[in-house]
Amino acid sequence: MPLTASTYGKGRVRVMRLARDGDHHTPRELTLTVLMKGGFDAAWTQADNRACIATDTVKNIVNVVAARNVALDAEAFVQAVAALFLDTYPQVAEISIEGRETRWLRHAIDGTPHGHTFTLDGNGTGYVGLVANRAGAVLRSGLRGYTFMKTTQSGWSNFFDDGYRTLADTDDRIAATSMDATWTWRDAPIDYATANAAVLETLIRVFGTTYSASVQDSMYRMGEAVLAAIPEIAEIAFAMPNKHYIPINLRPFGLDNPGTVFLPTDEPHGQIEATVGRAA
């Protein structure tokens, strides 16, 4: 029977490119599907893989092109990936690349765009919860899935060391999370919308402008700042899963990685939760 159509490649190739200009960083995150057509039919019909390019190689090529082209826009980047395939492999007749861009928006702190603090485009959902009975009521507001990132000024070091630990200490990493935050009202503010906006502004300002020794460290100080700024809030609870950006090892390809090319991954992730309240 004839093989009437075939294609193959790699899906969900995730890569973050981080262009650094001093303290001014620009993240470019893509998830790509890269598929090839060409002289590969024998792999299907004759169990002959000699012409096949491993799908792992496809992923490696994306990473190498990322390292060589940190600042390209998405459109120019996929063209560079395609050109490398067509220039390198005569058996590739056609390359198809589709990319989904994770768009990070530069966050303004005190009215000034910040060099390395970003929020996700189309971000998060608001939350409200009420428990009421004849004796009274507890009202909560919050955010669900609010995603933000800073590309420096974060570390994770001096943690417990034993035979199961594999992570090395670092004092400069990308810190990103998709935060659920819930604050409990003890009094009604003059305007809930204004107060809720002040909570978010405070959280991102503390996160973005201070060094983070851990998510736990930032979380606690973010909570302290909210309680100091908004007296109507009794306590604030957080759940902040890590969104990991892992530096990609480019040494097998003769390339350095000076903190510019990362593998984005959120499975599995660290899950950090806490509640910060007022003294009794």
Contact call for residues 198 and 235 (beta carbons, < 8 A): no
46 annotated binding-site participant: no
Residues marked active site are found at 10, 55, 244
Assigned token pair, 245? 């950006």
Q: In terms of Cα–Cα distance, which of 73, 80, 81 is closest to 13? A: 81
Known binding residue 56? Answer is yes
CA dist., res. 240 & res. 256, Å (int): 32
The annotation status of 91 as a binding-site residue, yes or no, is: no
Is 79 annotated to bind ligand?
Answer: no
55 labelled binding-site residue: yes
Question: For residue 164, with 0-12 CB atoms within 10 Å meaning exposed, 13-18 middle and 19 or more buried, which class applies?
Answer: exposed
* 216 annotated ligand-binding residue: yes
- Name residue 178's beta-bridge partners: 147
Mode of pairing for the β-strands spanning 112-120 and 233-241:
unpaired
SS3 (DSSP) at 45: helix
Q: 3-state DSSP call for residue 28?
A: strand
Please report the DSSP string for 116-148 in residue order.
EEEEESS--EEEEEEEEETTEEEEEEEEEEEEE
Binding residues for O2: 55, 242
Residues at the annotated binding site for 5-hydroxyisourate? 55-56, 173, 215-216, 242
Q: Which residues line the annotated binding site for urate? A: 55-56, 173, 215-216, 242
